[in-house]
């Protein structure tokens, strides 16, 4: 154990632990032990990521949250199956292949063959799985990569078929059109969730165009659009029934226009300028000829801009005015042009008014690559975004253009190809979400989310407005939709299993991708001789991930009982962006299948942003490589940094590498130093012939106040961790753990440093030292185990040392029982095999905790006073006086009793006093002030009088007022508990007093800053002690190593000697009875171990530490001196006799007469220095 390095390289230590875990199959063993015990199942779903890219901080964050919760569950007596999963299908894969093969149109895929295309897709889906495994394993996340699942597995795909068949059989599936975000670069629709991933600020052309009324072509409706390319597909206009519209005569053109009265500013932009526009200017621009409500315009027919669809099927219902409440007057003209193929509202409104029929063909002259078809011959083959200018020119040539401009706005881009999206009607297969929407909302209420506001707000709002879900995609690499049908759809069969497909087709398949199943036909039962063929589409990959709970277990074909017993899942976790993704699809499918939520508990994490607040970007290189961060600081530091941040409350985190370093400096280094300090002192204790065997009985029996406190704090931490982890509140657990480590290292260990070293001074004993070591061991072991789920590496490191002190350790070493049940500290080979400790109610001690808070408050206020007066901590202060506001008897008893010595030591004070209540008025004044936030509303005009009354109370009057609970004024009564702010302030004015108080004024600390000769002398002694300790440290000495210290001052200066003379007892207590003495008394044979010229009390002093040696009587023969210089002091005892023969002369040398064990003993015996 003594090999513990002074500065542990946490990252390197973690790498060694990783190797050990791998070599010893520690994760598998933990799982085996849990299964052997028959632990209750705890179901966890891990949402499958794509393995076509490398893991980033978002994955690491979510993975850390999942690992913490599942580790906690296992160490709480649950069995958790933790399988890795991979999302293998869909657009992310296809897009990469399209780029690789330079594919720009789906016809190219058909030409090369779906089998070849899919084979190429298959070749890259697991490209980075090894890198994922390496990073995730190095992060300390335990998840089973050997028994993983992939969405391309035939078993997974078969369960997806089963899910869809269940919905089909429940009449929750239909075919129709839906206007969806559409990537023209990828040739596929996207979900609304995907469409929201990549908005950019762009400039687009806009125009205002006119549509003449058929009944009077001199009058035109005017509309404004930001998508001129949709105008060839216009088949109706829409107004708002209740908006006020006007017919105006435009003075400049002589044309008559109809538009919303409140939107005249669209065609007369000067009206938007408050500075330039004057109402009287209207007469020069237009005349209002008629005013009407929108409903008066409904049904009116108009002349289309283009005649591309005037003779289309169903066109007799086209080119008329409709109405809907989605029309507003916050932009445009208050009249919206309708192109149902390219607008979701357009499609809905046209369906509602019978302009088009749901499911029928509709004007959609744009192909899957965003190119105009031959129906719009002037721009045939042009991409819609490139056709805008040509179309605007055609409109202008037809005298229909009223205005042309540009707009800067935020526009959705394809998250994969980084090209602008369009909205486009596509034939699709839908799930009837709207039909089961109320059930989905009800099931959401049964779930528990952290934070809850995401569930009740963002997710709930998404659910109540949920639309039917288009689950089909016109792509190739995905799970084929298992519908076989005749060409006219008169006969449709939905397949739910491989066996059913075999029964109906006679073909047995082992793979379910398109290249396999597209060739299979099913004989028609209705029309013998005809066959049913599979439809063209594949599933949206979100349907697959939503089916993951069932498909990963190949339900219902296998694991039926196991799945049903563990459903819904106990826990899932992903990022905030999944509220419209995985969380949603899970909830829809579980409701449709079982009318249950898919999960019980959910943690939503926020986004990890770059340090500048922008999205992390590989292109911009605005964030560090996660692997480099782990290699530099360690995985535990990264884990703790992430889960001790706002990101676990679904807020954003601006990632700062300095924050990870901060965890190392502020948590791990102090924690490690406390652990190393403990180990060193155990070795020191055992070097005296003792044997340390941990004893909980001795811990519980301690009466030391700091022992009782740290034990109570530890039990309180354990209780808190269990309460908060049961509620999945990681964001409250981590700050508590950080605070505890600070309390342990900065307070308990520091306050007991000398005691634990066996140097407790007067009144201390070996038994007291041993008790302190037992307490420190107990809390170190407890906190090591309770923190294991959070920081798995450093806790394993500590445990491997701590376990060796347990009696059961030999069971592992001698009998090989370290990987067996029952698990216990010592015997068990890993901290992660253990059960988390449960808190001991009998060791919770509120009084001890409150007393320690008081001690810390006093010490911190006292230190601030020292800094304010520029008094070094080495210089003692005479007196510390504390005034407490309504303290408990136990707190006062503790800080004036057993804790007093710690306060005196920490503040280097000679005396400490708590002022009695009856004497408070001599030291402080109780000041009262009104709480304006409460009284202002209550008192109104009486507020000024109340303020004067409150602030002018004397100390005694204020106390009486507080004790009474109310203050009565003229016409008002004030509640002193809830409506008044009280604060103690120091009242003495003498210069030698300096004070400080807490913000709320419940503690006032005053320090007597008098600096007399005794104070200064003691300060110099403390400086010298510090220098000697630094020399010991520089010489590599241990605490048990005894040395002699000597000093020499400049000629004529005796400042240091005077200080040592006045504080000799302080040196004896610190240095095992030794006192530094002037160097002139050092034996000539003293061996200097380390020396340095330092400053003590403003003077230069040469200080040396020397190896202990015997001191000879003055005037003794030189041969005897030479002999004595060779004798090791440790071999001689008091009053012993040394017999020797030198040059045939025999000598009998007696200790205490002829020589002494050390120089100080000689000087004391000979009374050479009267202060010794």
Which residue among 615, 632, 700, 925 is the active-site one? 615
**Are the CB atoms for 668 and 644 separated by under 8 Å?**
no
Whether 48 is a known active-site residue: answer: yes
Q: Which two tokens stand for residue 795?
A: 């806790």
**Are the CB atoms for 1004 and 985 separated by under 8 Å?**
yes
Cβ atoms < 10 Å from Cβ of 918: 7
Cβ atoms < 10 Å from Cβ of 848: 23
Which residue among 415, 582, 709, 993 is the active-site one? 582
Q: What is the rounded distance in angstroms from the CA atom of residue 689 to the CA atom of residue 683?
A: 10
Whether 615 is a known active-site residue: answer: yes
Whether 618 is a known active-site residue: answer: yes
Which residue among 30, 31, 48, 570 is the active-site one? 48
Judged on CB neighbours under 10 Å (0-12, 13-18, 19+), 729 is: middle
Residues in the chain: 1172
Q: Which two tokens stand for residue 245?
A: 């519209």
Whether 542 is a known active-site residue: answer: yes
Angle between helices 626-633 and 635-643 (to 10 degrees): 110
Whether 900 is a known active-site residue: answer: no
| 695-714 as b/e: b if 16+ CB within 10 A | eeebbbebebbbbbbbbbbb
Closest to 302 (Cα-Cα) out of 219, 381, 382 = 219
Residue with tokens 């979100």: 542
C-alpha pair distances (Å), 511 with each of 147, 173, 503: 20, 25, 16
How many Å separate Cα 880 from the centre of its chain? 42
- Torsion angle in degrees (nearest 10) through CA of 409, 412, 415, 417: -80
Whether 99 is a known active-site residue: answer: no
C-alpha pair distances (Å), 787 with each of 27, 71, 405, 535, 746: 17, 10, 62, 54, 18
Closest to 440 (Cα-Cα) out of 414, 468, 416, 413 = 468
End-to-end CA, the chain: 40
| 799-822 as b/e: b if 16+ CB within 10 A | bebbbebbeebebbeeeebbbbee
How many Å separate Cα 419 from the centre of its chain? 33
- Torsion angle in degrees (nearest 10) through CA of 505, 506, 512, 514: -50
Strand partners, 877: 909
Whether 1083 is a known active-site residue: answer: no
**Are the CB atoms for 87 and 59 separated by under 8 Å?**
no
Which residue among 166, 210, 552, 578 is the active-site one? 578
Which residue among 31, 87, 324, 782 is the active-site one? 87
**Are the CB atoms for 200 and 413 separated by under 8 Å?**
yes
| SS3 of residue 75 by DSSP | coil
C-alpha pair distances (Å), 1088 with each of 996, 1105, 1120: 46, 6, 21
| Sign, CA torsion 183/188/192/197 | negative
Q: What is the rounded distance in angstroms from the CA atom of residue 634 to the CA atom of residue 140?
A: 10
Which residue among 618, 688, 846, 868 is the active-site one? 618
Q: What is the rounded distance in angstroms from the CA atom of residue 829 to the CA atom of residue 24?
A: 10
Which residue among 542, 747, 993, 1156 is the active-site one? 542
Strands 599-605 and 569-575: parallel
Q: Which two tokens stand for residue 241?
A: 């029934």
List, by residue number, the catalytic residues: 48, 87, 542, 578, 582, 615, 618
């Amino acid at each position: 154990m003594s090999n513990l390095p002074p500065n542990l390289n946490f990252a390197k230590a973690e790498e060694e632990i990783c190797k050990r875990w791998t070599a010893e199959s520690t994760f598998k063993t933990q799982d085996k032990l849990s299964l052997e015990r028959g632990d209750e199942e705890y179901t966890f779903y891990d949402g499958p990521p794509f393995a076509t890219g490398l893991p980033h901080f978002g994955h690491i964050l979510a993975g850390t949250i999942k690992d913490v919760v599942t580790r906690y569950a296992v160490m709480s007596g649950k069995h958790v199956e933790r399988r890795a999963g991979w999302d293998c299908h869909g657009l992310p894969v296809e897009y990469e292949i399209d780029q690789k093969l330079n594919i720009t149109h789906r016809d190219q895929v058909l030409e090369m063959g779906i089998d070849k295309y899919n084979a190429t897709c298959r070749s890259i889906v697991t490209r980075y799985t090894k890198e994922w495994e390496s990073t995730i394993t190095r992060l300390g996340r335990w998840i089973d990569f050997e028994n993983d699942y992939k969405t391309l597995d035939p078993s997974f795909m078969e369960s997806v078929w089963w899910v869809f068949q269940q919905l089909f059989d429940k009449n929750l599936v239909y075919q129709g059109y839906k206007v969806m975000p559409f990537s023209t670069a990828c040739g596929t629709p996207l979900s609304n969730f995907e469409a929201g991933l990549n908005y950019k600020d762009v400039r687009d052309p806009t125009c205002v165009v006119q549509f003449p009324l058929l009944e009077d072509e001199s009058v035109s409706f005017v509309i404004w659009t930001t998508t001129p390319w949709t105008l060839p597909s216009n088949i109706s206009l829409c107004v708002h029934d209740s908006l006020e519209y006007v017919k105006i005569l435009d003075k400049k053109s002589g044309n008559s226009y109809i538009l919303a009265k409140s939107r005249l500013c669209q065609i007369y932009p000067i009206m938007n300028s408050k500075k330039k526009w004057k109402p009287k200017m209207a007469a020069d621009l237009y005349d209002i000829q008629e005013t009407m409500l929108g409903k008066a315009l409904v049904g009116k027919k108009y002349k289309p801009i283009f005649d591309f669809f005037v003779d289309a099927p169903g066109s007799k219902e086209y080119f008329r005015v409709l109405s809907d409440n989605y029309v507003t007057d916050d932009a445009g003209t208050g009249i919206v042009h309708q192109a149902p193929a390219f607008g979701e509202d357009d499609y809905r409104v046209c369906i509602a008014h019978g302009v088009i029929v749901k499911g029928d063909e509709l004007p959609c002259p744009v192909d899957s690559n965003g190119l105009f078809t031959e129906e719009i011959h002037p721009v045939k083959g042009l991409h819609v975004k490139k056709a805008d200018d040509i179309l605007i020119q055609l409109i202008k040539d037809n005298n229909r253009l009223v205005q042309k401009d540009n707009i800067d706005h935020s526009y959705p881009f394809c998250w994969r190809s980084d090209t602008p999206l369009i909205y486009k009607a596509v034939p699709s297969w839908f799930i009837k979400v709207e039909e089961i929407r109320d059930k989905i909302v009800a099931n959401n209420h049964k779930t528990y989310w952290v934070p809850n506001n995401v569930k009740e707000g963002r997710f709930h709002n998404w659910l109540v407005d949920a639309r039917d879900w288009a689950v089909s995609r016109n792509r190739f690499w995905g799970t084929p939709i298992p519908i076989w049908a005749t060409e006219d759809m008169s006969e449709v069969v939905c397949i739910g299993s491989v066996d059913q497909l075999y029964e109906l087709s006679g073909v047995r398949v082992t793979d379910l991708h398109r290249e396999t199943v597209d060739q299979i036909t099913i004989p028609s039962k209705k029309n013998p001789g005809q066959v049913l063929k599979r439809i063209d589409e594949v599933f949206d990959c979100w349907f697959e991930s939503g089916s993951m709970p069932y498909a990963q277990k190949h339900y219902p074909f296998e694991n039926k009982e196991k799945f049903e017993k563990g459903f819904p899942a106990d826990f899932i976790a992903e990022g905030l962006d999944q509220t419209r993704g995985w969380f949603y699809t899970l909830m829809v499918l579980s409701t449709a299948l079982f009318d249950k939520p898919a999960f019980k508990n959910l943690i939503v994490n926020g986004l990890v942003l770059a340090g500048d607040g922008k999205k992390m970007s590989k292109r911009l290189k605005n964030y560090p490589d996660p692997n480099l961060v782990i290699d530099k600081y360690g995985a535990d530091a990264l884990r703790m940094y992430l889960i001790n941040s706002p990101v676990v409350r679904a807020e954003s985190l601006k990632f700062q590498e300095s924050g990870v370093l901060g965890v190392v400096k502020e948590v791990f280094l102090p924690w490690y130093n406390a652990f190393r300090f403990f180990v060193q002192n155990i070795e020191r204790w055992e070097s005296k012939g003792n044997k340390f065997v941990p004893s909980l009985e001795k811990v519980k029996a301690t009466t030391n106040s700091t022992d009782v406190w740290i034990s109570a704090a530890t039990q309180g931490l354990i209780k808190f961790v269990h309460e908060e982890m049961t509620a999945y509140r990681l964001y409250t657990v981590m700050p508590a753990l950080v605070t505890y480590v600070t309390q342990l290292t900065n307070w308990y260990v520091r306050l007991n440093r000398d005691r634990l070293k066996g140097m407790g001074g007067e009144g201390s004993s070996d038994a007291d030292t041993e008790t302190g070591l037992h307490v420190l061991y107990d809390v170190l072991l407890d906190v090591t185990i309770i923190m294991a789920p959070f920081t798995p590496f450093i806790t394993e490191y500590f445990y491997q040392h701590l376990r060796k002190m347990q009696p059961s350790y030999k069971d592992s070493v001698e009998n090989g029982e370290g990987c067996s049940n029952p698990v216990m500290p010592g015997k068990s080979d890993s901290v992660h095999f253990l059960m988390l400790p449960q808190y001991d109610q009998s060791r919770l001690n509120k009084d001890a905790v409150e007393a320690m808070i008081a001690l810390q408050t006093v010490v911190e206020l006292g230190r601030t006073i020292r800094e304010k007066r520029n008094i070094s901590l080495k210089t003692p202060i005479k007196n510390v006086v504390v005034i407490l506001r309504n303290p408990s008897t136990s707190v006062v008893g503790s800080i004036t009793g057993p804790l007093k010595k710690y306060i005196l030591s920490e503040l280097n004070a000679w005396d400490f006093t708590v002022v009695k209540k009856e004497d408070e008025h001599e030291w402080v004044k109780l000041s009262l002030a009104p709480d304006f936030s409460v009284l202002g509303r209550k008192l109104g005009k009486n507020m000024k009088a109340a303020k004067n009354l409150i602030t002018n109370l004397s100390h005694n009057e204020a106390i009486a007022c507080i004790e009474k609970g109310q203050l009565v004024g003229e016409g008002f009564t004030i509640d002193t508990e809830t409506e008044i702010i009280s604060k103690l302030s120091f009242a003495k004015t003498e210069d030698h007093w300096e004070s400080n108080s807490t913000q709320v004024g419940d503690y006032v600390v005053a320090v007597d800053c008098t600096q007399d000769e005794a104070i200064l002398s003691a300060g110099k002694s403390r400086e010298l002690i510090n220098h000697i300790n630094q020399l010991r440290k520089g010489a590599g000495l241990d605490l048990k190593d005894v040395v002699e210290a000597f000093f020499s001052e400049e000629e004529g200066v005796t400042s240091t000697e005077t200080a040592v003379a006045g504080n000799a007892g302080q040196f004896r207590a610190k240095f095992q009875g030794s006192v530094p003495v002037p160097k002139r008394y050092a034996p000539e044979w003293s061996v200097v171990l380390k020396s340095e010229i330092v400053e003590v009390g403003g003077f230069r002093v040469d200080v040396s530490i020397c190896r202990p040696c015997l001191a000879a009587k003055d005037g003794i023969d030189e041969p005897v001196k030479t002999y004595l210089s060779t004798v090791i002091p440790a071999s001689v005892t008091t009053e012993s006799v040394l017999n020797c023969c030198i040059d045939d002369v025999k000598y009998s040398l007696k200790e205490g007469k002829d020589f002494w064990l050390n120089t100080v003993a000689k000087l004391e015996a000979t009374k050479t220095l009267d202060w010794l």
